[in-house]
Structure 1
Amino acid sequence: MNNVLFALIQALKTLFHPRMLSLVLWPMLVAIVLWAGAAMLFWSNWVNDMTGMMQATPLEQWMAQGYFAVASHYLIVIILLLLLLPSIYVTALLITAIFAMPMMVNHVAGKYYPRLERKQGGTNAGSIANALVAIAVYCAGWVLSLPLWLFSPLALLLPLVLMAYLNQRLFRYDALAEHASKEEYAQVMERASMKLYLLGLIVALLQFVPVLNLFSPVYVALAFIHLCLTELKELRQSV
């Protein structure tokens, strides 16, 4: 728990460095532009597809009745918006992980962990594969859990659990790729698994805070860099 708190505090300090501030907004802005463009092109298709999906369920008769037919249209729009907002946030996280992580790792390691040897156990192919797995599992979780969101108190918990998974899975590999060997990476994952999920859960709350969620992808990445490098440092000191 101490390392998680340390990572959160250090990430906040690091965030205000000029080099990090230069990264803060553009991942989210790029994600917004991409999804806004997609919505302009495909919104009517999305509405039609969602309507078809709902009509294939027991809700079909309810949707066909006068007032309810109008209400169902707004329900479909709300569902699409609920899908669009996390899609924007996840895209911003992915952009940060792919394009900004190398610069952030170099900055954090050079300033806070200058004596930590770089064993370069990670690869570009490993980074891409890790990101694809993270996104695939997250999206599958979203789709499979949608019925529970509508009819269960788990609707408040599921987004946090899914985002906690995505955060730790998406950033842990790149945070350690330069410094840890393959064996050390596996050892850090084993000893710090609960800490990674806890950090992922805490920073997942940021996506629900207006304005702050514009800045959070870079902050989240920095927090995982600090936590992972601290765990690697302690692992080496314990040997």
Structure 2
Amino acid sequence: MRILLDSFWRAVAYCLRPRVMLLSLLPLGLMVAMAALLGYFFWEPAVAWTRATLDSWPLLASFWGWMGRLFSGDVSSTLAQLVVVLAATPAIVLVSLLVVSGLMAPALTRLVAARRFPMLEHKKGPSFIWSATRAIGLTVLALLALVVSMPLWLVPPLVLVLPPLIWGWLTYRVMSFDALAEHANAEERATLLRTHRLPLLAIGVLCGYLGAAPSIVWASGLLFAAGFFVLAPIAIWIYTLVFAFSALWFAHYCLDALAQLRSQRAAAAYASDRSPAIAQDADRAIQTQWGAP
């Protein structure tokens, strides 16, 4: 419990550091850059195709005529632009978050290691391909578990328990592995993940509930279209900040647990090395007091 609470408060404090705040703003800059690039090459063709598709629907012909009488502007053109923006935004956000998450987690782990554990030895970890393959496999398992558990979501309490539990398990398996990748060998990782399974799972579940908070912002943006372009960047920033907090919490916990494990093993090895010498000293003391047999 001590290491759990200590790592939590340290993760909160690290989130207020300027470096972490700047990293959390990276998705916004990346999203703007991607939107500008895609807009430069594909904006006009996408809007033209969307408008032609909307105009080709017979059921909407009367609706366009009615809207044209109410408003003086080109309603179908404006709606086509809005549809393109709403369709492209989730894809841009997803790509931005994936790219930044791949860059943020190692950077935050190195930050924690450099400030708290500068003497912690780096041992050979898994390759990038193996880590990525493992993360993809675990993600597929989590998605399958979500699909299989969907009928249970009809039971009111379970819909608030099962999805965060599944995402929490995925977060715990992926982020704890990544936090130990650069410092622990395979045996140390297996030992720590087995010994600290429940606390790490609890961290994952709590981070899963925190990750649901931006969904409220997304829903508000979709309900109130006028504020969508303001609420969407806020939701992206919250997503990234939650991800940064999760990475920092796992990094503090896992590296602290690794340091304690190595300290305990070093103390045990020192005691085992000293025990023969202590036994010999005791034998010499007995021989001196009672005489050699």
TM-score (norm 2): 0.57
Q: Is the 8 A contact 2:26 2:100 kept in 1?
A: no
Per the TM alignment, residue 174 of structure 1 is displaced from its structure 2 partner at its CA by 1.2
Per the TM alignment, residue 209 of structure 1 is displaced from its structure 2 partner at its CA by 2.5
Q: How far apart, CA to CA, are the structure 1 residues paired with 2:197 and 2:94? A: 24
Matches within 5 A, 1:69-80: none
Q: How far apart, CA to CA, are the structure 1 residues paired with 2:96 and 2:247? A: 14
Supply the AA of the counterpart residue of 1:155: V
The higher radius of gyration belongs to: 2
Matches within 5 A, 1:153-192: 153-192=157-196
After superposition, the Cα gap between the structure-2 partners of 1:161 and 1:126, relative to the gap in structure 1 and judged at 3 Å, is same
What 5-or-longer segments of structure 2 have no aligned partner? Answer: 39-45, 47-89, 215-234, 266-293
Percent identity between the aligned chains?
30
Greater relative contact order, per chain length (Cα 8 Å cut-off, separation 6+): 1
Q: Return the match for 1:124 from 128, 133, 138.
A: 128
- Match in the other structure for 2:261: 235
Q: Is the 8 A contact 1:168 1:196 kept in 2?
A: yes
**What secondary structure is seen at the aligned counterpart in 2 of 1:108?**
helix
Q: How far apart, CA to CA, are the structure 2 residues paired with 1:30 and 1:139? A: 27
Superposition RMSD in Å: 3.0
Q: How far apart, CA to CA, are the structure 2 residues paired with 1:31 and 1:161? A: 30
Q: Return the match for 2:106 from 102, 107, 110.
A: 102
Per the TM alignment, residue 26 of structure 1 is displaced from its structure 2 partner at its CA by 3.4
Per the TM alignment, residue 236 of structure 1 is displaced from its structure 2 partner at its CA by 0.4
**What secondary structure is seen at the aligned counterpart in 1 of 2:23?**
coil
Q: Is the 8 A contact 1:119 1:179 kept in 2?
A: yes
Q: Is the 8 A contact 1:97 1:171 kept in 2?
A: no
Structure 1 position 137 matched with structure 2 position 141: yes
Q: How far apart, CA to CA, are the structure 2 residues paired with 1:95 and 1:158? A: 27
After superposition, the Cα gap between the structure-2 partners of 1:221 and 1:31, relative to the gap in structure 1 and judged at 3 Å, is farther
- Match in the other structure for 2:84: none
Supply the AA of the counterpart residue of 1:190: R
Q: How far apart, CA to CA, are the structure 2 residues paired with 1:122 and 1:143? A: 30
Q: Is the 8 A contact 1:165 1:200 kept in 2?
A: yes
Per the TM alignment, residue 160 of structure 1 is displaced from its structure 2 partner at its CA by 1.4
Q: Is the 8 A contact 1:31 1:89 kept in 2?
A: no
Q: How far apart, CA to CA, are the structure 2 residues paired with 1:31 and 1:146? A: 32
What 5-or-longer segments of structure 1 have no aligned partner? Answer: 42-84
Q: How far apart, CA to CA, are the structure 2 residues paired with 1:2 and 1:90? A: 37
